[in-house]
Amino acid sequence: MMNAGKLFILLGIIFVVIGLIWTFIGRLPGDISFKKGNFSFHFPIMTSIVVSIILTLVFYILGKFR
């Protein structure tokens, strides 16, 4: 049961860090935004890359604990 508790603490810390990063990154340079009249389109390419790198690191670290 101790391992499950440590895992939940680690996941909580990871979610807090991701939440803080998500708050600060918002719209990064490299994200595509297009607005014309009533239509707007936003494709977060750089945000997707940053989130992908962060998730890769998180899963790598979690894999080390297994």
- pLDDT of 64 reads 87
- pLDDT of 46 reads 86
Intervals of the chain under pLDDT 50: none
- pLDDT of 2 reads 62
pTM score, whole prediction: 0.55
Q: What are phi and psi of 28, to 5 degrees?
A: -90, 155
- pLDDT of 36 reads 92
User: How wide is the angle at C-alpha 6 spanned by C-alphas 4 and 12, nearest 5°?
Assistant: 105
Q: Which two tokens stand for residue 32?
A: 């595509």
- pLDDT of 29 reads 82
- pLDDT of 56 reads 93
